[in-house]
Amino acid sequence: MNNKKSPNEIAEKLSKLYGNTFDEIIYTKGVGISGKIRFAELGIDKDKILKEVNKTISIQQGTIINDKYPGQFFSGYVWAEDLYRVTNEKKYMEILVDFVKKYYKINNSTLPNACDPTYRSEDIFFTSAIMGRVYKYTKNSDYSNILSKYLLNIPTQKKDGLFMHNLNAEWNWGRSNGFAALGFTEAISYLPDNKETNKLITTHKNHLDALIQLQNNDGTWSQVLDDKSSYHEFSVTCMIAYSISRGVRLGWLDSSYSSILDKAFNGISSMIDDIGNIKKVCIGTGVQNTLRDYLNRPAISGFDHRGGSLCLWFMTEYMLQYKH
């Protein structure tokens, strides 16, 4: 790596900016808290950072969970496993155990309750993040089986390997593919002993290989992946880079992916300035009606919970791989 900013330097900046609020329970905030904990594990200020995290999460400890909450709410608590890992306090994982009970089989469908019936890509991440973590904790095979059947029967992966945003949006929106890559990465990470894991890896690699063909020369991926007129988008680049980094580190991707990963790191690094401002994160985006709608989605630069949190996840994963 010849970039002037190291993963540790970038992660240190981002850990001061992100993971500091949980006023809204959503993955964009939860991933930041998770990333902050992961960075604490790698650094000398572990106790200080964990104290900050405990202060942040105390805001929402009394929240009542009910069936109305969607997956993006559940995945706002991804940090619970990280905090359990460093404190060994089971109360954090029990939060996720309560959530996972909302994911159950619907009659003969492979789509579990709590997932959007149109197979939105966001659910690939939301569902995998919760069910995978709880399976690892409980070893209840019901959770791993529901998750693997769901992932292997998603009808939105096209013949070229890319994912539609949902059944009604065939365009190759960047972050919908980022959610898919991230979701399969989470599932494979937590389901290594499932009988379907090799099939999950095959599906995931087909997707990543299709994505790699669309990587820009600067290492990034675009807002609409196969449209050269669209802007180079920060969050999808972090999601794909994280997925590749985790796969290489844990061994389901071979070393041939490393050059793609390093190129992605350089692209991400070039979009962060010296004080942690980031460039071109697509705003929150529901399913759109036309390709033009996706191309026209505005980008945020400066501070953005989504982009900063996902980047912090990537940088801590990348640091683990290269042991900076």
pLDDT above 70 (res 18): yes
Res 49: pLDDT:
83
Res 67: pLDDT:
58
Please provide the average confidence, as pLDDT, over all residues in the chain: 92
135, 146 contact by CB (below 8 A) = no
- Cα torsion through 19, 24, 28, 32, rounded to 10: 10
pLDDT above 80 (res 219): yes
Res 65: pLDDT:
58
The pLDDT of 200-219, averaged and rounded, is 98
Res 323: pLDDT:
63
Q: Is the pTM of this model over 0.85?
A: yes
200, 187 contact by CB (below 8 A) = yes
pLDDT above 50 (res 324): no
The pLDDT of 80-91, averaged and rounded, is 93
Bridge partner residues of 233 (DSSP): 221
Nearest to 257 by CA among 298, 215, 288: 215
End-to-end CA distance of the chain: 12
Res 169: pLDDT:
96
pLDDT above 50 (res 194): yes
Res 119: pLDDT:
96
Q: Copy the structure tokens of residue 265.
A: 């790191």
- Single-letter residue type at 236: V
Q: Residue length, the chain?
A: 324
List, for residues 255-286, the tens digit of each pLDDT value: 999 999 999 999 999 999 999 999 999 999 99
Res 280: pLDDT:
97
Of the two residues 5 and 201, the one the predictor is more confident about is 201
- Binned at pLDDT 50, 70 and 90, residue 1 comes out as very low
* CA gap 186, 48 in Å, rounded: 28
Res 297: pLDDT:
96
E strand residue ranges, 68-213? none
The pLDDT of 52-72, averaged and rounded, is 68
* The domain made up of 7-322 is a member of CATH 1.50.10.10: yes
* CA gap 171, 6 in Å, rounded: 35
The pLDDT of 31-53, averaged and rounded, is 88
